[in-house]
Structure 1
């Protein structure tokens, strides 16, 4: 490791909380109060003249609201200030073209969260190999799952510390997302080999050296049957709901059970992606992937009334499979993990990588005989092999040819880059 240069690293870590029913109610009340505070700010913004829409006036308005409305008093003062800053930041993002204009937050369609801006208010201690204790403002001292070493106690200083956190609720319960800042030595260049990666559905990750990383279904057969039964039950109960009527408690409970199973599947997918990308980043110094536009790939084929699409059901199934593999999230994990270990992540153009023969370099029609088999139709070659590994080798070949996609002026352009060989290969 290069100890002469230190780099600041900021990352997040999410831990699951173990709350009692009374503590869950307190956290729920704070989240609803934060959402109400946002809606009140939005209403205030719409009513005030443009010259009165200042941060100072908004701060005075929310202070008065906290005095007048008892329900808002359950929200800590610093959390209310965080809502104010987030609302003004949302308008700034809108004016700069990065996001749409902020709007009212609905009760059932909005994620529940509460910000804890100051890390010093948490008072984190580790009490067990698997558990830690944290102080949540106006909730109390609660336990959380200790799955990652955090800079607390004697390990914490001005450069290595927890700067804040956010309470977040999903279908599996309340979690605490820590914001961590550390100062680490800058890593030396990774001396590992180069590898091309082909992302797919049948084979999620295929490497150019012949290896594959696969996974089982995220839900067991029993869980999938239960999910299908719950979805059918929800569809039947929804038929008896009149337009404009609120959702019944029975239907809402069914929706919660469906969300719990889907959240369990997502958690297992995240765990597999983290383990796989960590292993790849530790072994290889240069990782090459395709520059995929996933949003365009999962676009619906339904078409319009005048020009209806073809094979709509098959395309929708393919879209669900692509979204389930979360290729973009895999690439994002590889990007920051390779950078942290001194490696590099490169993107190359995607067209033609699955149709080109990695042995002779020719692209001939009909070579991709099936999803898993590639047979070169060039009479002078005739090579056959796994189609996913063939695509991965073509991806690595594009990098070795000096082609890389470099973002410029909001678009991707192809530039030739000079490859720097590791010291061991010189």
Structure 2
């Protein structure tokens, strides 16, 4: 992802194209699904788009076939049992991410301007400079082998970015794992505790001044919301405050993702087998508010815990580890999480009271091992490698049964 250098007029054109793409997606979804007993075929969708382009002026603002291709790929991902994609649905204006596709690589015409900037051709905008951040396959001398197949323009809190679709040559996979096995315990006080006794930690994602600025902005937005009429449109001042809050939160997310990438790359290079707990994170961060009939307890503490768990992004850490270890000939093993933090790795004695914060003291008088609780859990996780994760095969089978391909048109 690279930042585009756009003028206000060019950004407005891209905003219009993104809204057009979203509207066309919604029209396609309605045409594709709201039919009598069957989905529309690709040919029918293509003919409907061509007819609409002759009657509706705003549909000529972008390549409509690119939206159709993306929409059909979304359905293909949904019917693939190995893909985590959800069922395609309508895109809301305020909750969807603005994006514009450039399907053909020949339209890009990428050229180097200097050591910091490159230039790319964007349809209906002309030549646009973008920030050079990494070597592109097939363009950089001495860079990775491959080619660029297209691009996607995406808008985030920092403005419009460009993401290139690339096709690279697969590197040969080693026959044997490159390193030893390691167990990793994911936590909050310690981000990653390894079974070899080492730890991978990070500081706050925002500096003290940035956190104070974010707090003031959130208080300011609360004051501005109190003067807003219910159901009315947000004021420009409130929208600007929301934009500032979004930029600070996006900064924190980028720093977290950068730390995760660097840490998981180092772990994938060092260890051949990485063992982690099979956590159901969505259940762990479930709200404790309860109902009117049965209100929850310690709601404020549980809310803070949920926020801390979400800030660590445990699922994303495992996702990064999986593809990086596979590329290097290793693999990630998931084991049941039950009892790993309450069991002594030396003697196997299990006692919930043995853990006190970050300290673990075995309650068995014949053992008496003491040490860091997260390191003890990481060793138990590593020793559990080979244990079957209960229910995983049944879940995959049930998910596959629900995703039957549509009946042919």
Per the normalisation by structure 1, the TM-score is 0.85
The answer to whether the Cα contact below 8 Å between 2:152 and 2:164 also exists between their aligned partners in 1 is yes
Structure 1 pair 209–73 and aligned structure 2 pair: CA distance change class (3 A): same
Note the C-alpha offset of 1:244: 2.1
CA distance in 2, matches of 1:216, 1:154: 35
Q: Does 1:333 align with 2:317?
A: no
Note the C-alpha offset of 1:100: 3.9
Note the C-alpha offset of 1:94: 6.8
Tell me which of 130, 141, 144 is aligned to 1:144.
130
CA distance in 1, matches of 2:55, 2:198: 64
Residue equivalent to 2:372: 386
CA distance in 2, matches of 1:329, 1:152: 29
CA distance in 1, matches of 2:251, 2:371: 36
CA distance in 2, matches of 1:214, 1:51: 52
Tell me which of 393, 397, 401 is aligned to 1:408.
393
CA distance in 1, matches of 2:96, 2:187: 32
In the alignment, structure 1 segments of 5+ residues that lack a partner are 1-13, 413-426
Note the C-alpha offset of 1:86: 3.3
SS of the residue 2:353 aligns to: coil
The answer to whether the Cα contact below 8 Å between 1:365 and 1:377 also exists between their aligned partners in 2 is no
Per the normalisation by structure 2, the TM-score is 0.88
The answer to whether the Cα contact below 8 Å between 2:33 and 2:39 also exists between their aligned partners in 1 is no
SS of the residue 1:408 aligns to: helix
Residue equivalent to 1:170: 156
Tell me which of 79, 82, 102 is aligned to 2:66.
82
Please list, as runs of the form range in 1=range in 2, the aligned pairs for 1:22-421 lying within 5 A after superposition.
22-44=9-31, 53-75=40-62, 77=63, 80-90=64-74, 99-100=86-87, 102-103=89-90, 105-153=91-139, 160-188=146-174, 189-370=176-357, 372-399=358-385, 402-405=386-389, 407-410=392-395
The answer to whether the Cα contact below 8 Å between 1:364 and 1:378 also exists between their aligned partners in 2 is no
Note the C-alpha offset of 1:99: 3.2
The answer to whether the Cα contact below 8 Å between 2:178 and 2:328 also exists between their aligned partners in 1 is no
In the alignment, structure 2 segments of 5+ residues that lack a partner are 398-409
More strand by share: 1
- For structure 1, which segment, 182-191 or 277-286, has the greater mean C-alpha deviation from structure 2 after superposition? 182-191
SS of the residue 1:266 aligns to: helix
RMSD: 2.5
Tell me which of 16, 23, 29 is aligned to 2:3.
16
CA distance in 2, matches of 1:300, 1:258: 24
CA distance in 1, matches of 2:369, 2:216: 47
